[in-house]
């Protein structure tokens, strides 16, 4: 190993980042704090050398800085799994300065092949993940507004419309006329809000559909799985891509945070709740897809798996197990470039019909 090689640890926060520099030849530790501004980032990047090794914890701001360093300097950059670093850096003294130093010493000491590094997403993948997050945020705001409208109607004795009824515009427009004059303006404002959210969701859906059509091979494979529609297929594409970076199906479960915590001591082995490490957007849509899959005609096998787990673990753990099982099956399908084979229909007519229904059929 080159004694002059520098190992640089960075601890990111919203408004600043701490930098610690160590090397084998000089025991002196260099430290500096930068603001999270364009000027300070450029000042830090200009101080780097091509043979430096830089390491950061995972996070959106870390990915942005890592890509800038790779593009402008070309040195080695590792973005490290924050969940694994939390165990490594367990300490009574935890500050940004100390964390930056621990990261620097960690990459100095640990061989490259043993570092808990994660893949740095491309600009396209980051944009897709941002779109998935935006869709969830807008959808949640729409749901909150619908609930507020339902509460307003209920408080005024209008109980014949449920929340699901108010998801349809024609029903919403109809009930406003039944509101007392004193509350009608409030109801109209809620209607306008819901209409805006639905317009935004429509625009987001069209943008995502264009991305799905552009990546038609991955989209078709994901859509072939029971319970998976365009929204879930898009999130899968954003966070997992074509799944080539995973060496086995178990890695997909670990990445998504669907694997249980394990506590082993002596002869005792205890499995706790899932780790929930990794993208929560992926877990959210896969849990929804799991419920849809076990209710579909093509999901007979998944339904049988769900029933077996539910009999001993309960329905909540069972549906999480189905979501993880679906991800593992998807890894097999993507790596083999195969479509999901329905146990009900021998050919792929159902998949073709599904693609047509969602406007994703490819000529």
Sign of CA dihedral 248, 254, 260, 264: positive
Percent of the chain with pLDDT over 70: 92
pLDDT of amino acid 81: 81
The pLDDT of 246-265, averaged and rounded, is: 80
Report the C-alpha gap between 190 and 185 in whole angstroms: 9
The pLDDT of 287-292, averaged and rounded, is: 96
pLDDT of amino acid 362: 52
- Nearest CA to 50 among 33, 68, 30, 72? 72
Q: What is the pLDDT of residues 183-202, one digit of tens each?
A: 999 999 999 999 999 999 99
State pTM to two decimals.
Answer: 0.82
pLDDT at residue 264 is higher than 60: no
pLDDT at residue 320 is higher than 50: yes
Q: Is 54 helix (H, G, I), strand (E, B) or coil?
A: strand
pLDDT of amino acid 66: 94
pLDDT of amino acid 1: 45
Report the C-alpha gap between 255 and 272 in whole angstroms: 17
pLDDT of amino acid 70: 93
The pLDDT of 85-103, averaged and rounded, is: 74
Among 125-134, 172-181, 240-249, 275-284, which range has the highest average pLDDT?
A: 125-134
Confidence of residue 82 (pLDDT cuts 50, 70, 90): confident
Tell me the CA distances in angstroms from 17 to 13, 117, 247, 262, 332, one per residue in order.
6, 20, 33, 34, 40
Q: What is the pLDDT of residues 29-79, one digit of tens each?
A: 999 999 999 999 999 999 999 999 999 988 778 999 999 999 999 999 999
Report the C-alpha gap between 65 and 342 in whole angstroms: 45
Q: Which class is 6-118 in CATH?
A: alpha beta
- Nearest CA to 138 among 195, 188, 185, 186? 195
Confidence of residue 349 (pLDDT cuts 50, 70, 90): confident
Strands 268-274 vs 260-265: parallel, antiparallel or unpaired: antiparallel
pLDDT of amino acid 185: 94
């Amino acid at each position: 190993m080159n004694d002059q090689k520098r190992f640089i640890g960075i601890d990111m926060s919203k408004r600043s980042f701490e930098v610690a520099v160590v090397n084998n030849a000089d025991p002196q530790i260099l430290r500096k704090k930068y603001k999270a501004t364009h000027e300070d980032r450029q000042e830090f990047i200009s101080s780097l050398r091509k043979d430096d090794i830089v390491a950061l914890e995972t996070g959106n701001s870390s990915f942005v800085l890592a890509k800038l360093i790779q593009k402008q300097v070309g040195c080695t950059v590792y973005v490290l799994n924050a969940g694994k670093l939390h165990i490594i850096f367990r300490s009574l003294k935890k500050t940004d300065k100390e964390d930056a130093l621990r990261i620097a010493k960690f990459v100095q000491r640990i061989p490259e092949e043993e570092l808990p590094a994660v893949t740095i997403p491309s600009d396209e993948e980051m944009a897709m993940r941002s779109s998935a997050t935006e869709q969830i945020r807008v959808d949640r705001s729409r749901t909150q507004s619908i609930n507020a409208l339902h509460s307003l109607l209920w408080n005024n004795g209008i109980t014949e419309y449920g929340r699901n009824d108010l998801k349809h515009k024609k029903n919403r427009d109809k009930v406003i006329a039944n509101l007392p004059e004193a509350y009608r303006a409030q109801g109209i404002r809620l209607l306008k809000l819901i209409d805006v959210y639905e317009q935004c969701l429509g625009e987001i859906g069209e943008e995502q559909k264009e991305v799905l059509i552009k990546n038609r091979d991955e989209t078709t494979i994901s859509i072939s799985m029971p319970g998976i529609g365009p929204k879930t297929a898009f999130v899968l594409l954003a966070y997992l891509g074509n799944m080539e970076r995973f060496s086995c199906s178990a890695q997909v479960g670990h990445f998504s945070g669907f694997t249980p915590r394990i506590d082993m001591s002596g002869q005792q082995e205890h499995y706790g709740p899932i780790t929930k490490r990794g993208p929560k957007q992926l877990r959210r849509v896969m849990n929804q897809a799991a419920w849809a899959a076990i209710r579909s005609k093509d999901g007979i096998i998944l339904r049988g798996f769900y029933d077996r787990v539910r009999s001993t673990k309960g329905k909540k753990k069972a549906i999480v197990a189905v979501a993880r099982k679906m991800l593992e099956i998807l890894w097999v399908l993507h790596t083999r470039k195969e479509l999901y084979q329905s146990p009900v229909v021998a050919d792929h007519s159902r998949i073709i019909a599904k693609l047509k229904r969602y406007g994703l059929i490819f000529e």
